[in-house]
Amino acid sequence: MKVKFKSVYFFILIFVFALFFSYSKFIVLAKDNRQDTDLLNYEFSDNSLLLLSDNSDINCDNIRNLFKDDGVLNVKNLTPNLNTNIFKIQFSFNSKEKILKLINKHTYSEGVLKIEPNYSGTFGETANDEYFNQQWGLNDINIKGAWDITTGSHSVRVGVIDTGVATHIDLVDNLAEGWNFFDNNDDTKDKNGHGTHVSGIIGAVGDNNIGISGINKKVKIVPLKIAHYSSWEISYVIEAINYVQSLHGTENEIDILNFSGWNFPIDLSLFTAIENYSGLFVCISGNGSKDIDTYPNYPGSFNCANLMTVGSIDINGDKSSFSNYGKTSVDLFAPGGNIYSTLPNNAYGNLSGTSMAAPHVTGVAALIYAKYPYLPASEVKAAIVNNVRKLDNLKEDCISGGILDAYTALTNAHTIHTASYQYRNANQHYVICKYCSKTIRSEAHTLIRYFGSKPGKICNGCGYILYNDGTALIPYKQPDQIM
């Protein structure tokens, strides 16, 4: 009996461990572990939900069959190019209570990794009808020094997940074609003004003798419309991110995404989409005047290597009264109070909110990409966060303890090193990185990776690219491509 008891005890321990392990990934998604289980405290769709499956064989027909007795109308795979499929399921009813019952009913169904509401949220802008005749935010982030290095490039593409972008006279030369995920068409015109205002901060045309200048005088803004007005569903955000990821490696690749949504609970669907995006994802801390270390909201509280969370300061360098903060959740602060930018109908005006702070960071990231186009998102993020202007009044409110500094971020984003070559014979040669003195061996004319038309090798010691013409080097650490 004692042996049998020990066996039972052993299998119970194994079961508990397996259960813990299966949920461990979800637990560490956020910078704060806690989850709000009272879903009725949050806004979400009353006729749709999201289902995640890590079984690549499951398709829309399987999901439709799973919900065949629940009033299913339509099923759409939002992430067909990922290993983890995220399905949006539309129903014939309009009832939040029924949505919650279906979540409980199908949580443990075969092939279901997670099932959750299709949350809705708002943008982080607070309207303000007070106008200024100057863009104080640009001076505050030290933009003039950055412009001595670069003013931007049309080769850098920035996706703005928002209400669309108006064809403003001060934006049109910096606009690219995008997509309307709300209506599923190519009409990305802005009926609200929020997306146009955000886009002007990032990239209103500079040196054209009219209006304002964006942080990037030259850039390509790609409108990714998810709403006509101020509220949106998370499924459209996921679809937009996945669309952008599908462009990775093409000439239409989008380097940075700016998203100003907030105020919903932890969501594995959105986390999965952001984590699988190859570029930099810039979002807001939110406008709740709260410590999001203690009261997390998402996506700002997600812990992703490619995600930056931005809080707002006012013209005096103080944390804006509306801005959320968090010593372990918010990366840095940027100007967000009374920011002057573009509005529909070729107008200009001031808006306030963390929605105005985030595009300042996005704009500086775009400048870095204009100068150093092959930097990975994690190093662009590090260049910005590690080179802020420190302020004592912010040291307890964010990770960096400071505000955005465009010049120092740009000057410290990249270090040039030199490489030398030693030929052994006609068929083999060695490449030595002078930065770390490590040697790479390569067959003649056999390259690890091409970077556009300029081939190069990756140093096994320092991770820097050694170009074949003897020049170097942009940090691009990718272990699977190191010899």
Q: Are strands 44-53 and 114-123 parallel, antiparallel or unpaired?
A: antiparallel
Question: Helices (DSSP H) in 28-155: which residue ranges?
Answer: 60-66, 96-106, 136-140, 143-147
Q: Does the annotation count 140 as an active-site position?
A: no
Spacing of C-alpha 39 from chain mean position: 25
Q: Which two tokens stand for residue 456?
A: 């190069």
Selecting among 106, 168, 194, 197, the annotated active-site residue is 194
Of 355, 360, 400, 417, catalytic: 355
- CA dist 480 and 163 (Å) reads 39
Which among 224, 226, 225, 202 is positioned nearest to 214, based on CA atoms? 202
Q: What angle do CA 328, 371, 249 make, to 5 degrees?
A: 80
The b-or-e profile of 125-139 (16+ CB within 10 A means b, else e) is bbeeeeeeeebebbe
Active site residue 355: yes
Contacts of 316 by beta carbon, 8 Å cutoff, 6+ apart: none
Phi, psi of 405 (to 5 degrees): -130, 105
User: What's the burial of 371, exposed, middle or buried (CB within 10 Å: 0-12/13-18/19+)?
Assistant: middle
With both helix axes pointing from N to C terminus, report the angle between 194-203 and 354-371 in degrees, rounded to the nearest 10. 40
- The residue among 307, 360, 363, 365 whose CA lies nearest residue 337 is 360
Q: What angle do CA 71, 72, 76 make, to 5 degrees?
A: 170
Contact 277, 305 (CB under 8 A): no
Where helices occur in 167-291 by DSSP H, the ranges are: 194-203, 234-246, 268-275
Instruction: Tell me how far apart the 2 most distant CA atoms of the chain are, in Å.
Output: 90
Q: Which two tokens stand for residue 233?
A: 């569903």
Spatial CB neighbours of 325, under 8 Å, sequence gap ≥ 6: 285, 290, 291, 292, 311, 319, 397, 398
Using only C-alpha atoms, the chain has a radius of gyration, in whole angstroms, of 24
User: Strands across the sheet with 339-343, in order?
Assistant: 125-127, 347-353, 339-343
- Is 7 an active-site residue? no
Active-site residue (options: 140, 162, 190, 397) = 162
Q: Are 171 and 199 in contact (CB under 8 A)?
A: yes
User: What's the token pair of residue 129?
Assistant: 């009808």
Active site residues: 162, 194, 355
